[in-house]
């Protein structure tokens, strides 16, 4: 898939665990894990916005397009 999810990179930069992000964003661990591992087929803008607010980043810091 040409869209790469760099959620784990941003979490590491912010020294935040999946559990902590899950609580702050109000998403289940399983849904965040699916997103983090790149297995998600879609993401809601409201979810992306919440993650960006908590991690203090831009959507482009989390999602990356790689020419395939």
For the stretch 8-22, pLDDT in tens is 999 999 999 999 999
Query: How large is the greatest C-alpha to C-alpha distance in the chain, in angstroms?
Result: 35
pLDDT bin (cut points 50, 70, 90) of residue 68 is confident
Residue 36: how many other CB atoms lie within 10 Å: 19
Position 62 in a domain: no
Position 66 in a domain: no
CATH number where 46 lies: 1.10.260.40
pLDDT bin (cut points 50, 70, 90) of residue 35 is very high
Length of the chain: 68
Mean pLDDT, rounded, of the chain: 95
Position 46 in a domain: yes
Number of structural domains, the chain?
A: 1
Give dist(CA 37, CA 26) in Å, integer. 18
Determine what percent of the chain falls in helix, strand and coil, rounding each to the nearest 5. 55, 10, 35
């Amino acid at each position: 898939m040409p869209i790469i999810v760099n959620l784990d990179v941003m979490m590491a930069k912010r020294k935040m665990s999946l559990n902590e992000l899950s609580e702050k964003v109000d998403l289940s661990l399983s849904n965040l894990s699916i997103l983090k591992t790149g297995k998600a087929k879609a993401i809601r803008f409201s979810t992306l916005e919440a993650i960006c607010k908590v991690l203090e980043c831009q959507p482009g810091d989390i999602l990356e397009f790689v020419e395939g």
